[in-house]
Structure 1
C-alpha cells in the first residue's frame, strides 16, 4: 500500500497528465477548425488575412470590369457594369482601410489566374459581351460563393464593425450577380444556369 505522500504524488502526476491531455485536445480542435473553416470565431489576424484576400479580389474585379466597360459595345450593359465596377472598387478601398484600423497592412497580391480571368477575359476586345457574360456567370456567378462569404461573416461576432462591413458588401455582391444574371438572360436569350 502506498504511503499518503506517494498517493498525493501519484494524484498530482495524474492531474498534470489530464491537464496536459486537455490542452492537447484543445490544440487539435483549433487546428481542425482552422482546416475546415469550422464555426470557431475568427481571430483578428484571421480577419485581417481574410479581408486582405477579399480586398485584392475586389480590386482586381474592379480593374476587370473597367476593362470590360472599355471594350463593351452594349450601352445598357455598360451602364450596369459601371455600377458593378464602382461597388468592387469601393469594397477594396473599405477593406484596405479596415485592415489598417485592425493593425494590419495590405499584402496580398492577385494570382495570375485571377488577373487572367478578370482582366484578360473580361477585357478581351475579341469576345462579345454575351460571351463574357456567359463566362462570368458560369465561373463566378455561383450562389455558393455568397454562402461562403456569409459563413465568414458569421464567424466575426467579436468584431461587429468588420462583420457588418462584410455583410453590406455581401448584399452588394448579390445585387451585382443578380444584374449580371439578368443581363446574361437578356443578351444570351435564355437561362443562366
Structure 2
C-alpha cells in the first residue's frame, strides 16, 4: 500500500472476516515509521465485553468484527457538512470533510486520511479478492477499505470507502 504510505500489515482474514490463525500473520512496514504507529495517537485497549457495552450491535459488528453496513443506508453517505470525522469507538480524528467526495458507491468516500499515523492497513483476502482494510490506529476498529486506480479525479487516486457506522461527524461550527 505504498501509494497511501503508513504501515501496512499483511494478515490473512477468513471469509467471515476474522483473522486466520497460524503462521500466515506477518507485518510489513511500507515506509520508515515506528513499529506501532498507534502509539503516536494514544492507544485505546478494551476487552470485548467493554466494547459490547459501549457500542450498539451494528456498531460492534462493523467496528470489532470487520462487518460492513448495507450500501446507501449510512448516516454520512450523502452528507456535505463541513467538519471532522472521528472514529465512533475511540473519537480519534480520522478524516476531514474537505477530503470527502461523491463516489456513488454507497458509502462515504475520502481521498486521504487526516494523517497517515491515524490509520493502519491490513491485507484482506476475504470475499475471494485481495483488498486493503483500513483500521483505526488508536483502537484497532475496522473502518472500511481503501482502493486505488479507479479513475476518480482526486489528488491521490485513492478511495477510502468507510462505513458510516464507524464514524461520528463533528461539524466545523463545533470543532
TM-score by length of 2: 0.26
Which has the greater radius of gyration?
A: 1
TM-score (norm 1): 0.25
Greater fraction of residues in helix: 1
